[in-house]
Amino acid sequence: MKEIIATLLGVLFGIGLMLSGMTDPDKVRGFLDVAGSWDPSLALVMVGGISLAAIGYIAASGRSRSWMGERIDIPTNNIIDRRLILGGLLFGAGWGIGGMCPGPALVNLGAGYRGAAIFVVAMVAGMLVHDQLSKWMANRNS
Amino acid sequence: MGINWVQFTPGSSLLGGLLIGASAGLFLLALGRIAGIAGLIARPILATIQGKFGASERVSLAFVTGLVMASWIWRLFAALPSVAIPEKTGATLIAGLLVGVGVRMGNGCTSGHGICGLSRLSMRSFVNVCAFMVAGMVTVYWLKHL
């Protein structure tokens, strides 16, 4: 049951991405091109997304358990460090080059685009490389 | 410089954003989880490698499967929107690698920090969002105007 709900919510999320324009790399670059001919549409994705997510958050924070009985897993980490900023910078550079962030890359993969498949393979490789390197560095420093 | 009114799609972008927000809000309310796509992709893969794939990873994988299926459901009702997926393999590989490393290092992406984090007024997410927006704008400036 939980898996079915999660799949349906994934579909809803993906359809939202498609409708919003987030899955079109040209649209993304048009949004990031503030010095050129700027297309502000994707700012409205943030407005719409944040407003309903905030209602969900407010409703959830008054509860001890989710509807399906899980613990409500809200992040408690509030450390602002170099990794948070450098990670954001690297992600933003990749987003600007490829015009896709992780969600849209998966949607475009499902739609059958070769470029999206290459992007997703490289992205997963990047995730694994990062985690291996950070584990290795943590071991070396301890 | 100036606003590109021809490409501006306020209605569909706002509506798409509302669907994204509804999904994120319901994911938290129904299953207690944050809809951060980078984490939802990474967790089942890492858990499989470590041999610790459990109930929580099944939910992550299910959400990710839904994202992959979204265009299939869309196609039942309408033609897919046209998207300009980059054709250059080298640039795509670099972009994917940067995104993969960046979202793990910063612990989130446009959804986890951008939508979920900002919706709960997390300063940590706000700092990450500023970093990726600035880097994205500088990168596009560099690619388009230099």
Residue pLDDT, tens place only, A93-128: 999 999 999 999 999 999 999 999 999 999 999 999
Chain B residues in contact with A120 by the CB 8 A cut-off are 96
Contacts of B85 in chain A (CB under 8 A): 25, 108, 113-116
Q: What is the CA radius of gyration of chain B?
A: 17
Which of B110, B42, B119, B106 has its CA nearest to residue A80? B106
CA-based nearest distance A41→chain B, Å: 5
Round the CA-based radius of gyration of chain A to a whole number and report it. 18
Q: Please report the pLDDT score of residue B19 as a whole number.
A: 98
Q: Which residues contact B79 (CB under 8 A, 6 or more apart)?
A: none
CB-CB contact of B12 with A21 (8 Å): yes
Helices (H), chain A: 2-20, 25-32, 41-61, 82-98, 102-110, 114-141
Mean pLDDT, rounded, for B82-88: 90
Query: If pLDDT is split at 50, 70 and 90, which confidence band does B1 have?
Result: low
Indicate the burial class of B140 (C-beta count within 10 angstroms; 0-12, 13-18, 19 or more).
Answer: buried
- On whether the CB atoms of residues A85 and B131 are closer than 8 A, the answer is yes
Quick check: A39 and B5 in contact, CB under 8 A?
no
A128: closest CA of chain B, how far (Å): 8
Q: Are B26 and A16 in contact (CB under 8 A)?
A: no
Measured at the CA of B10, the angle between CA A12 and CA A92, to 5 degrees, comes to 70
Fill in the amino acid letter for B97.
L
pLDDT for the residue A87: 98
Read off the tokens for B111: 């959804």
Among B residues 11-70, those touching chain A with beta carbons less than 8 Å apart? 12-35, 37-38, 41-42, 45-46, 49, 55, 58-60, 62-70
Please tell me the distance from the alpha carbon of residue A53 to that of residue B19, in angstroms, as a whole number. 10
Task: Give how far A140 is from chain B: nearest CA, Å.
Answer: 18
A73 has pLDDT over 90: no
Domain boundaries, chain B: 17-145
Answer yes or no: are the C-beta atoms of B33 and A13 closer than 8 Å: no
Note the pLDDT of residue A141. 78
- pLDDT for the residue numbered A116: 97
ipTM, interface predicted TM-score of the complex: 0.96
Percent of chain B with pLDDT over 90: 93
Rounded CA-CA distance A120/B34 in Å is 21
